């Protein structure tokens, strides 16, 4: 199902997803290393905001006003404050930050606390508020721009949600950071169809112990987990691959010989 747009016209009625780059080479070109997490959906809704202020294009900066935060780890929110700061004078409507109440509390306590950064939820520019939280309830559908989204708790060391996102035509699931879980698969399997699953594979198999205590997958634990997925046609893309072990993890993923499993490349636009 994957189509990589290399320029030119864009087929309509497909959801477009880009993992924004977070690393650049000596020429300033994006590299494959993923240090931060930010997916842009149809260039206007962000899932996490790790690299958003570093890598979003001018057009994307103009369009992104809805940001879903899966959990408050730094690699997922690092440049969220900077993104709002950059846009501050020009925002005619607030940046909407969708998150569970627990995650909103952590963002307010630890990031937007007037010490690390201003509490933008209490600040206005000439047009009005610059940032508003949209509390989400796990298991209940909500709208973010044109998308319908369901958040599901996953198994990570802080409150974290995976997401099932639909544009009305295509459905894509995001695991966020997690280890072995069940509720996520219940919701994913309940979706009428699934075009793509973006799932984490953080550590190589040799680091299974660390993966277990930090609640992440290795290729071996990912393989076991994928047996819970009922949608055979879905394209599966591994993300959140720790740069220090990238090649080893990719080799181990390839050795699983799962035909629908690939590795998502930062910067590419995937259409599902
Ligand atoms: Zn995390
Ligand atoms: Zn992470």
Could you tell me the distance, in angstroms and rounded to a whole number, from the CA of residue 63 to the centre of ligand 1? 26
The pLDDT tens digits for 180-197 are 999 999 999 999 999 999
Tell me how far the alpha carbon of residue 267 lies from the centroid of ligand 2, in angstroms: 18
Residues of the chain with pLDDT under 50: 2-5, 7
Q: How far is the CA of 12 from the centre of ligand 1 (A)?
A: 34
Among 249, 230, 229, which residue's Cα sits nearest to residue 238?
249
Q: What is the structure's pLDDT at 230? A: 97
Which ligand is nearest to the Cα of residue 159, counting in written order?
1
pTM score of the predicted model: 0.95
Looking at residue 223, what is its pLDDT?
98
Output the CA 27–ligand 1 centroid distance in Å. 30
| Segment holding 209, helix H or strand E | helix 208-213
Tell how far the Cα of 11 is from the centroid of ligand 2, in angstroms: 32
Ligand 1 centre from 149 Cα, in Å?
20
Distance from C-alpha of 144 to C-alpha of 129, rounded to nearest angstrom = 18
Residue-level pLDDT at 13: 67
Helix-strand-coil split of the chain, %, nearest 5: 30, 25, 45
Strands 235-239, 261-263: pairing kind: parallel
Predicted pLDDT at 12: 56
Instruction: List the one residue out of 204, 213, 106 whose CA is nearest residue 155.
Output: 213
**Alpha-carbon separation of residue 24 from 116, 126, 239 (angstroms):** 26, 35, 18
At residue 56, φ and ψ (nearest 5 deg) are -65, 140
Residues 43, 226: Cα–Cα separation, whole Å? 28
């Amino acid at each position: 199902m994957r189509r990589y747009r290399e320029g030119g016209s864009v087929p309509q009625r497909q959801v477009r997803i880009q993992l924004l780059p977070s690393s650049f080479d000596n020429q300033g070109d994006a590299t494959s290393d993923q240090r931060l997490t930010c997916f842009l959906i149809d260039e206007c809704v962000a899932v996490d905001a790790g690299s958003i202020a570093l890598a979003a294009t001018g057009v994307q900066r103009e369009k992104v006003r809805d940001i879903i935060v899966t959990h408050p780890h730094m690699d997922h929110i690092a440049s969220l404050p900077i993104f709002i700061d950059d846009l501050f004078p020009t925002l005619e409507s607030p940046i909407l930050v969708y998150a569970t109440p627990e995650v909103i509390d952590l963002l307010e306590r630890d990031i937007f606390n007037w010490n690390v950064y201003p509490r933008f939820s209490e600040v206005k520019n000439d047009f009005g508020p610059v940032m508003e939280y949209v509390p989400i309830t796990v298991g209940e559908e909500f709208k973010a721009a044109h998308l319908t989204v369901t958040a599901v708790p996953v198994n990570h060391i802080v409150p974290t949600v995976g997401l099932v996102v639909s544009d009305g035509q295509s459905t894509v699931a995001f695991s966020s950071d997690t280890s072995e879980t069940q509720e996520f698969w219940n919701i994913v399997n309940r979706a009428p169809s699934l075009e793509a699953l973006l799932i984490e594979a953080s550590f190589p198999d040799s680091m299974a112990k660390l993966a277990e205590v930090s609640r992440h997958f290795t290729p071996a634990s990912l393989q076991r987990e994928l047996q819970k997925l009922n949608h055979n046609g879905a394209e599966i893309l591994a993300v959140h691959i720790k740069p220090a072990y990238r090649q080893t993890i990719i080799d181990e993923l390839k050795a699983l010989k799962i035909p629908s499993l690939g590795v998502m490349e930062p910067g590419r636009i995937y259409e599902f």
